Amino acid sequence: MKHPGFFFVWAAMRLSSLFAAACLSLAAARAEDRPNIVFIFSDDHALNAISSYGGPLKDVAPTPNIDRIAKDGAVFTRSYCGNSICGPSRATVLTGKHSVTNGFIDNSGSRFDGTQQTFPKLLQKAGYQTSIIGKWHLDSTPTGFDHWEILNSQGMYYNPEFITSAGSKRENGYVTDLITDKALSWLESGRDKSKPFVLMFQQKAPHRNWSPAARHMHLFDGVTIPEPPTLFDDYANRDESLKKQAMQIANDFSWGNDMKLPGENLYPKFFTGADRNGELQRMTPEQLATWNAAYGPENQKFLADMKDGKLDEKAVVRWKYQRYMKDYLRCVRAVDEGVGKMLDYLDKSGLAKNTIVIYCADQGFYLGEHGWFDKRWMFEESLSMPFIIRWPGVVPAGVRNASLIQNIDYAPTFLDAAHVPVPPDMQGRSLIPVLKAGDKTPDGWRDAIYYFYSGETTHAVAPHEGVRNSGYKLMWFPKTKQWNLFDLKKDPQELKSVADDPAYAPILEGLKKRLAELKAGYGINPATTTAQRGEELQWWRQRHNEKMKLAKEGPHDLVFIGDSITQGWEGPGKEIWTEYYAGRKALNLGFSGDRTEHVIWRLMNGELDNVDPKVFVLMIGTNNTGHRMDPAEDTASGVRRILDILRARKPDAKIVLLSVFPRGEKAEDKMRVRNNEINERIKAFADGTQVIHLDVNDRFLNPDGLLPKEIMPDFLHPQAEGYKRWAEALEPTLVKLGLPK
Ligand code: SGN
Ligand code: CA
């Protein structure tokens, strides 16, 4: 037997070496556990203009640097956005939530509520350095970033302004190069090098108006860009709204801004407006000289041919297509060069081995398919987002993966990569199992994606929503009340809806069901889909602005939120209000006609910015019943969303949630019954701490359930007596919550 002392020493040595090994592997695991993330995000970059996607332009306009990422990693061939427009896509990337849930549903009037949970905030908390450089386009100031340097709104191509916390500054140079240089300089000297980082490197290019860098202005001279087979689509066999869009190469390109033609619009039949190219005024004399020398001769030739009658309608479309595509692809070239510089830097600095690199864009784009430019539609070209990723040691090199992925997945993926738990309210899923699966789809991965587009005046694309699985796409057009169904294998160009073909009836029904399931799963319904008021927008926006101004003049201890019944404190309830609330620093955020979705919009668009009350009093939902007969389930989910917003934004305030007041004269009135069903559900939202549920409905009703005319003459809106009863009933709760009269 060995000497026990020897054994002890041996064991100690063995243990310490084991420990050292464990430490070593822990250190290694740590570094690997916390990879850096370089998220390269450009604007409107279509898959067909990236050579690793293998599209029709791969030989004429290759993207060799983006392809380097693909060569070392994976190309996702079924990668989609949830709403094909800039701001919504960006808000989705940040939050891991569909645009209707994160509140940024369109580019006209939305403002990103930066107080909400985002992946940069969560990574920052976990010790990451976070940075965003380039296009932001979310209106509000970035939150959750250690460093941000963003373009003003869409930004300009030439000598653009950049905004930082110190203000706005115009810089000399070409936007794509400036953004690249800023990204590299942050990596080199702007960050705390002891920490892992996430860099959102976000190009403006190749967004409209497609202004190339001086060095690329002659790229593609003498080359003919191949035309897509659907350049002259007639929009037959699909929803009639397709014919009404305003994004056609044939009709919607402007003379000066898009087509870079000089002087007055000589051919209004073919070109819109005479709008000048705003970039020209910003150029230095040298930049302008290069520009004129590049476009001049071709413009002169075109004008001469037009004058000589040499170009018929189709030939003009073809000319415009060439002009458009060459400019677009020239812009892409600078983006690709920037990607090359980034990859070189990562290699040289040694960062490459522990850095995830993603190339992506906010949505796809039409490069003449269907005769279009722009995006917005749920058709493949704009529904798609490029998604190319390399992650040494995790993503196998050179694979193509056809799993259905979506921009809701990015935030969960980044968190998962950093070993930060993914919050359950994020709607996407971590892609890590898919990334590890090579060219396979892991078991249990999603079988369908949801899409929503709200409809904006720009480009006149009709609102629509839909679902896509691996073989079919179903689209619903609420304005025309039409379904379009596409068999993507037989009709990849989506030229003919088969929704009316009896042979497809089972598929149609199956997809309708899937769409409903997806929406239910995401909690998406009209009551939760943030919205501004339609026709009545003007008074409503004005009241919103006035209320925000009043909020600023605060402070307010008590804030009422609701619809016309709450707004009525300024009408029939005025005297009672004065008696009960004037001395208590109260604010009335009741807006006549509002449904839950409008309150959601208001709260996410500034009405909470300058209030910090002790108590909120919330009553909302009767218009969901009255205007639309929403299912009680939906209205209740709208109320729940409002409570979630209030809880997240004002954790110290109490919320008195009132049952929706009774409506209709008799107890069996359909709307009364529906409101009761809502009330049954929302009382469960009381959480014992912050949300207090209160039902004062008895105060208005006779014992037999009849709603007396003296209280509510229209069986909906209280008169003065009704407001008196409401105030009395609320009083004890307010006092209990620390608001003595
Ligand atoms: C601008 C463009 C539109 C484009 C939107 C949204 N017009 O309004 O063509 O659809 O931006 O683009 S422009 O003449 O001003 O360029 S997005 O990328 O922000 O969604
Ligand atoms: Ca965009």
Ligand 1 proximity of 86 Cβ (cutoff 6 Å): yes
Given this model, what pLDDT does residue 703 score?
Answer: 95
Residue 147 CB neighbour total at 10 angstroms? 18
Residue 100 CB neighbour total at 10 angstroms? 28
For residue 108, the CA-to-ligand 2 centroid distance in Å is 14
For residue 208, the CA-to-ligand 1 centroid distance in Å is 6
Ligand 1 proximity of 318 Cβ (cutoff 6 Å): no
For residue 654, the CA-to-ligand 1 centroid distance in Å is 42
Structure tokens at 56: 């029709």
Name the pTM for this structure: 0.92
Closest ligand 1 atom to 459 CA: 10
Give me the average pLDDT of each 10-residue run along the chain (741 residues).
41 44 41 87 98 98 98 98 98 97 90 95 98 97 98 97 97 98 98 98 98 98 98 98 98 97 96 90 97 97 98 98 98 98 98 98 98 98 98 97 98 98 98 98 98 95 98 98 98 98 98 98 95 89 97 96 98 98 95 98 95 98 98 98 96 98 97 98 96 98 96 96 98 95 82
In sequence order, the β-bridge partners of residue 589 are 561
Ligand 1 proximity of 458 Cβ (cutoff 6 Å): yes
Domains (range + CATH), the chain: 34-209+330-439 (3.40.720.10), 458-521 (3.30.1120.10), 538-736 (3.40.50.1110)
CB distance 73 to 459 below 8 Å: no
Q: Which residue among 92, 154, 372 is best mutated to probe the pocket of ligand 1, counting the most ligand atoms within 8 A of its Cβ?
A: 154
Closest ligand 1 atom to 376 CA: 10
| Sequence-ordered alpha helix ranges (H) in 353-451 | 380-383, 410-417, 432-435
| Sequence-ordered alpha helix ranges (H) in 436-559 | 505-522, 537-553
Closest ligand 1 atom to 154 CA: 19
Please state, in angstroms and rounded to a whole number, the distance separating the CA atoms of residues 283 and 156: 11
Given this model, what pLDDT does residue 15 score?
Answer: 44
Ligand 1 proximity of 107 Cβ (cutoff 6 Å): yes
Residues acting as catalytic residues: 564, 714, 717
CB distance 123 to 193 below 8 Å: no
Structure tokens at 672: 């009364």
For residue 129, the CA-to-ligand 2 centroid distance in Å is 26
Q: Which residue among 45, 99, 104, 107 is best mutated to probe the pocket of ligand 1, counting the most ligand atoms within 8 A of its Cβ?
A: 107
Q: Which amino acid residue places its CA nearest to atom 18 of ligand 1?
A: 86
Please state, in angstroms and rounded to a whole number, the distance separating the CA atoms of residues 385 and 302: 35
Closest ligand 1 atom to 375 CA: 10
For residue 614, the CA-to-ligand 2 centroid distance in Å is 41
Dihedral sign, Cα of residue 224, residue 229, residue 230, residue 236: positive
Nearest ligand atom owner, CA of 279: 1
For residue 426, the CA-to-ligand 2 centroid distance in Å is 23
Ligand 1 proximity of 85 Cβ (cutoff 6 Å): yes
